[in-house]
Structure 1
């Protein structure tokens, strides 16, 4: 168990950040699945809307260093390629 006040505070902070990060990661996976489903259904309008929300969420996650910048760039490029192929 933690012995100091700062250690106790760090435990609380770590738990809060862990829950926030896990929530954002889950949201990204959900948005990605929704985008992939709209691409498979060949609905260009729905795919472009899903891509827009996915790209926005990816940029926000990258800004807080939750997702690596190169991974975000790769996913954004693939989204754009899939939407333009429809």
Structure 2
């Protein structure tokens, strides 16, 4: 996947990256273009949060790196995630 991603594509990819948990995403209205991701468990408790700058969520390679990093942090905290790979 080399073409720039649109925000909707990035959101779908992020949601799939954190299964079986839910990923809630929003773009703050501060004009910086960041995407805020919060991973929540089945009890709606936040278990992880990350900010992704516009330049990273539109670039598939950067998005993949940041999602892998966030997944690794959750795994280190003992959360079991389903296997995931960045779509092509």
Specify which structure has the higher proportion of helix: 1
TM-score (norm 1): 0.36
Give the structure-2-normalised TM-score. Answer: 0.36
Answer 1 or 2: higher relative contact order, Cα 8 Å, separation at least 6.
Answer: 2
Which one has a bigger Cα radius of gyration? Answer: 1
Question: Per residue, is there more strand in 1 or in 2?
Answer: 2
